[in-house]
Chains A and B, each alone.
Chain A
Amino acid sequence: MTTQTLTERPARSTLFDGLTRYVPIGATVALLIALYLGGVANYPNFDSPQVVAKLFIDNAPLLVIAVGMTFVILSGGIDLSVGSVMAFSTMACAWLTVDAGIPAPAALVMVLAFGTLWGLAIGAVIHYFNVQPFIATLVGLFLFRGLTLQINSEDVSMREIEFWQWGMTHVDFGEIRDGGFWLPYLSFVAFAVVIVAFVTLHYTRFGRGVYAVGGSESSALLMGLPVARTKIGVYAVSGFCAALAGVLAAFATKSANPLANVGAELDAIAAVVIGGTLLTGGAGFVLGTVAGVMVWGMLNTLIAFQGNLSSWWARIVMGILLLAFILLQRVLARSGEKRRT
């Protein structure tokens, strides 16, 4: 059984091998350092550690969905529903705790379980009914935006409930005046997600399966790998991450907006690609995704420091970077082919 997807790998392209596979991630890290040094050289106070810490405060939810997206893209799929699932989860948190009066920890568990179940269900549809990931997850994009609007078409505040104060509680690392910085708990949640994802992808059978299925699904099947479990699993991971990102957003803003995170799936996909993961699957690193999210955050920070530039420049630059990285991957893949033949 062969599965054709929109992101199907061309038959001739090969996995990056040897040291070549570290070139894209190296380029991302170099870019990140260049952006940072450029900021330090041009703007006062840019060298404060809090500038870097702020990247992990503002972008903690994006980081979490991008990690989930990395699993899906590594397996050769795509998940368009994460932005809507994230907004739905934030709204569900507000609805369950404010309107229904359910204790917040229980609500949190329910939301996370729901996100995971949704991922399992859509993964099963993709695998067993051979529906293209693009179309199947498009269902989620529409469905959860619609459900979110149906729960409430306006902002809901969660300030009254004490539990939601937890996420922004500070952990101080020295005084800011003396070169210290602080991070809220929710950043540590994002770090934990990254560490768990890293260990899962590189040191577990499931993780190796994700790479194998993304490299070639039919080969993985012939090798006796659990393709079904892996393919469904990655969407469950992505669903869980999207729900968790929604919860983090609830912590960060203590309110739920039905139109929040429109286009978050695109930011996540862009961060994953800039982080060096091949959109056709099979090659990439979750730590690259972290670097990709940091590039996105750094661009926004630079624009904020510049002051007179509009935020749309971040998107244009992101598009240009995306182009550069895709062309880089192309060149590397081509040179890989030449070496083999």
Chain B
Amino acid sequence: MNYAKRLMWPLIILLALIVVNIVATGVDFIVPSVNEDGRLGGAFVNILRRSAPLLLIALGMTLVIATKGIDLSVGAVYAIGAAIACQTIIDAPDQTAAGLVFSAVAIALVVTAVIGAWNGVMVAYFGIQPIVATLILMIAGRGIAQLVTGGQIPKVQDSSPFTELGRGAFLAVPIPIWIAALVLTALALLTRRTALGMLLESVGGNPEASRLAGIRSKGITVLVYLVCALCAGLAGLIGAANLGSADANNGGLWIELDAILAVVIGGTALLGGRFFLLGTAIGVVIIGTLEDTIINVGLSSQWQFTAKAIVVFVVALLQSPEFRAWILKPIKRRPAAPAPAPAEEVQAK
């Protein structure tokens, strides 16, 4: 019940955006079409496909934020994952070998997992604030990615199976959507059907109390940063496969901010202790749809940043109890108006 209530606002925003798009461009916006090659296409499917990397990162970020942390390094990790995979592939003599692609993907994922574990150890064992611990890699990470690519932008041949990761389809549905949906389902099952989710919320609520209650809070903290970096690396692979290249400077630029934004829109407070994976997913689709909406209603793409700023501002204010109290004050003061606050309290009890 509470869960549905939490998801209501993001869902209303998403529906409103979709309605605006349908009014602007027609019903074709939402209805998936079947392309000549038998794949699903259409504007909304494309939004989902393009949002897949952001969704992966935002899911990892949700878990980190649930433990009262934050991971600023995901954009840099995205670039590192993409750089390692692309560089491994173009260094090999035959770019079309399936084995090569598998090993390139595996190397990239292992390295990003190690980076995540490093972040986690800094936070859990050295006791450094998450924002500071991950800031280090946010600053140095793109330099490391540049180091991997030697300052060039490695371009993978279009014939390499690697590009399928971003452009391919399975059962008519684009592969990025499959990957994102699989990760979402896996994380949702892991956190809601096992005790893991509760442990996460417990660590976010109070790490010291959790430790005293017998929870290995340090291990769990390292685990969430590892998962978050792994998600970021995977997102980098999809992004690089889609473009066929890895740009160490601009690949995944500001994706950490978009991911945090998606998490916040989805109803997960930055204070930790509670998280909503499905809300995050809706938040990601809202951001993806917003970008298309701006173009569809005839604004220039430069409005994108401004629109995002407005969304962050509105969401931040709506989630602030002080703001809600301030805005409701004139209504509540009127004696004729029913007093909603006590009634709610009774219900809650």
Interface residues of A (CB under 8 A from B): 4, 6-8, 10, 78, 125, 128-132, 134-136, 138-143, 145-147, 149-150, 153, 262, 266, 269-270, 273, 279-280, 310, 312-316, 318-320, 322-323, 326-327, 330
Contact = CB atoms under 8 A, between A and B. Distances in A.
9 contacts: A131-B316, A132-B270, A135-B312, A139-B313, A141-B257, A146-B309, A314-B143, A319-B137, A322-B139
Nearest to A78: B131
A316 B136 contact: no
A143 B306 contact: yes
Contacts, number: 134
A147 B305 CA distance: 8
B303 A150 contact: yes
B299 to A, nearest CB: 10
A15 B310 CA distance: 38
Highest count of chain B CB atoms <10 Å: which of A128, A132, A319: A319
A227 to B, nearest CB: 14
Interface residues of B, number: 49
B128 interface: yes
Contacts of A4: 271
Interface of B: 70, 126-133, 135-144, 146-147, 151, 248, 253, 257, 260-261, 264, 270-271, 300, 302-310, 312-313, 316-317, 320-323, 326
Q: Nearest 3 A-B pairs (CB), nearest first? A: A319-B140, A146-B305, A146-B306
Given A313-B143, A327-B126, A145 B305 contact: yes
A131 B269 CA distance: 11
B6 to A, nearest CB: 18
Contact of A146 (B128, B130, B302): B302
B140 A316 contact: yes
Contacts of B322: 128-130
B96 to A, nearest CB: 31
> Interface of chain A, helix or strand or loop or mixed?
helix
Contact of B316 (A135, A319, A326): A135
Q: For chain B, what secondary structure do more than half of its interface residues adopt (helix, strand, loop), or is it mixed?
A: helix
Given A131-B317, A134-B270, A146 B303 contact: yes
A130 B320 contact: yes
B79 to A, nearest CB: 11
Nearest to B132: A279
Nearest to B315: A135
A142 B142 contact: no
A146 B260 CA distance: 19
B143 A312 contact: yes
Contacts of B303: 146, 150
Contacts of B302: 146, 149-150, 153
A326 B270 contact: no
Contacts of B138: 266
Contact of A142 (B146, B271, B305): B305
A314 B129 CA distance: 24
Contacts of B317: 125, 129, 131
Given A8-B129, A318-B140, 4 more contacts: A10-B129, A128-B326, A142-B312, A315-B142
B344 to A, nearest CB: 21
Nearest to A142: B309
Contacts of B146: 310, 312
Given A130-B320, A312-B143, A269 B304 contact: no
A157 B218 CA distance: 54
A279 B308 contact: no
A140 B305 CA distance: 10
A160 to B, nearest CB: 25
A132 B300 CA distance: 31
B19 to A, nearest CB: 24
Contact of A330 (B128, B271, B313): B128
A329 B323 CA distance: 36
A147 B321 CA distance: 29
Contacts of B257: 138, 141-142
B297 to A, nearest CB: 15
Contact of A322 (B136, B260, B312): B136
A280 B128 CA distance: 10
A129 B326 contact: yes
Nearest to B323: A129
Nearest to A127: B322
Given A139-B316, A146-B303, A273-B132, A6 B270 contact: yes
